[in-house]
Homo-oligomer: A and B are copies of this chain.
Amino acid sequence: MSESATSERTMRERVEEYVFRLQDEIVSAFEKLDPTAPSFKRDSWIRAQGGSGRSCVFACPPQSTSYPSGISTPASESNVNLATEREIVLEKGGVNVSVVHGLLPPAAIKQMRADHNSMPLPERQEGLPFFAAGLSLVIHPRNPHAPTVHANYRYFEITEPITQEEGSDDAPKKQGKVLAWWFGGGSDLTPSYLYEEDAIHFHKTISDACAPHGSDLYPTFKKWCDEYFYIPHRHETRGIGGIFFDDLNSGPHARFPNSTNRPSTPDEIFAFVQSVGNSFVPSYIPILAIRHTALYIEHERRWQLLRRGRYVEFNLVYDRGTKFGLMTPGARIESILMSLPETARWEYMSEMGTEEGTEEERLMKVLKMPKEWI
């Protein structure tokens, strides 16, 4: 497509192109960091009800000491153990793109109206056409000193239904008038051990990406992130935050009651989303590059797995996207639950994290009381 045509392209086309490009860039960055590890597994899929996607997933071979054993491995199996000489950087990770469309039933419209005030009323019994494009990623490194990271960038549209004629085979890309649209996303860091310089670097990189688009963006979305990634039954946040935003469009926004200092046209908002999307690699890869080589002991691995248990608790009990996905008939479960760690651990009344003066307790203090990093 020539450059001059760009301005005529629809937002859905531009977002689709962007998320696939970002996916390539992110996956390449991880593969470059650990060139001798197995590549991410690329896996394109088509949704029967409309749309398609591409999963890029990293998984360690199960033989590489990646799970507990009660007995020693028979000699014939232990030959495939790869991780003793040099450890693989990632334990599990996925960078997924999905671009889907279909009819949103009235019940789903009704539910989404709670978080999206531009959503039309669910008047038509047969529902309304929707379009959703997004990139979603979760990376769980092996080393307990390297933090888990999550990011998501998404665009959503509700349109008027198109008539049979308009929607004929000659014009498969034709779409009805856009009734509602918004962008959402963000990224956040979940360390098992707190390195303040990592937290500062992560937040600073994202804040710098937000700044040209409005001075209120980072503080507003940082606060929203701390609120969203909170585990009520543990009275702690999932991690040390980042940014979270949703429902960004040209209309009024609950988080910006009085501010006009924010992107509000579709082009301005998309430029902001690209800016934070592009900041993902520089916000995280330098941290991983340093921490993945740290020496660690089993005590630290144990704590990492306990923290992964909390990650599972948040994702299965509270995360909106996961809950919505699990309830959606025909949803791709493997993609939805890709966010879960390879291994998680639960101990009854564990003393880890409670003993004063320990590194584990130092992290817990920050999770109990979110901090301003910059």
- Which residues of chain A have a CB within 8 Å of any CB of chain B? 41, 43, 55, 57, 59, 62-63, 65-74, 77, 83-84, 87, 92, 94, 142-143, 232-234, 295-299, 301-302, 305, 309, 312-313, 316-317, 326, 331, 333-334, 336-338, 340-349
* Residue of B312, B326, B342 touching A347 (CB-CB under 8 A): B342
**A345–chain B nearest beta-carbon distance, Å:** 5
Contact B312 A348 (CB under 8 A): no
Give the copy number: 2
A349 to B312, CA, bound (A): 18
A-B contact pairs, 13 of them (CB 8 A): A62-B298, A69-B301, A70-B87, A71-B87, A77-B297, A92-B346, A94-B348, A233-B331, A233-B336, A313-B316, A334-B349, A343-B345, A344-B346
Chain B's closest residue to A232 (CB) is B326
B340 pairs with A70, CB closer than 8 A? no
The answer to whether A71 and B296 touch (CB under 8 A), given A337-B346, A348-B338, is: yes
Q: Looking at the complex, which one of B66, B94, B316 makes contact with A316 (CB distance below 8 Å)?
A: B316
> By the criterion CB–CB under 8 Å, are A305 and B67 in contact?
yes
Select A301's contact among B67, B84, B317, B337, beta carbons within 8 Å: B67
* Residues of chain B lying within 8 A (CB to CB) of residue A340: 309, 346
Instruction: Select one of B57, B336, B345 contacting A67, CB under 8 A.
Output: B345
Contact status B326-A68, CB under 8 Å: no
Whose C-beta in chain B lies nearest to the C-beta of A347?
A: B59
CA distance A346 to B344 in the complex (A): 9
The 6 A-B residue pairs with the shortest CB-CB distance in the complex, in nearest-first order: A316-B316, A340-B346, A233-B326, A57-B348, A68-B68, A70-B142
Known: A312-B312, A334-B349, A346-B340. A298 touches B233 (CB 8 A): no
Q: How far is the CB of A142 from chain B (nearest CB, A)?
A: 5
CB distance from A73 to the nearest CB of B (A): 5
CB nearest neighbor in B for A295: B71
Other than the given A305-B343, A343-B345, 8 more pairs (CB < 8 A) read: A65-B70, A67-B301, A68-B305, A68-B343, A71-B297, A73-B297, A234-B333, A312-B316
Q: Tell me how far the C-beta of A355 lies from the nearest C-beta in chain B, rounded to whole angstroms.
A: 14
Tell me the nearest residue of chain B to A57, going by C-beta: B348
B contact residues around A84 at 8 Å (CB): 72
- Return A31 CB to nearest CB of chain B, in Å: 17
Expressed in whole angstroms, the minimum distance between the Cβ of A29 and any Cβ of chain B is: 20
A312/B66 in contact, CB under 8 A: no
A292 to chain B, nearest CB (A): 10
Q: Are B70 and A68 in contact (CB under 8 A)?
A: no
A43–B349 CA distance with the chains assembled, in angstroms:
10
A70 touching B94 by the CB < 8 A rule? Answer: no
CA distance A295 to B344 in the complex (A): 25
CB proximity of A212 to chain B, nearest CB, Å: 37
Chain B residues lying within 8 Å of A143, measured Cβ to Cβ, are 70
Q: Which residues of chain B are near A72, meaning CB under 8 Å? A: 84
For A93, the closest partner residue in chain B by CB is B348
- In the assembly, what is the distance between CA of A67 and CA of B345, in Å? 8
Of A57, A72, A298, the most chain B CB neighbours within 10 A belong to A298
A298 cross-chain contacts in B, Cβ below 8 A: 62-63, 67, 69, 73, 77
Whether A70 contacts B296 in the complex (CB less than 8 A), given A233-B333, A302-B62, comes out as yes
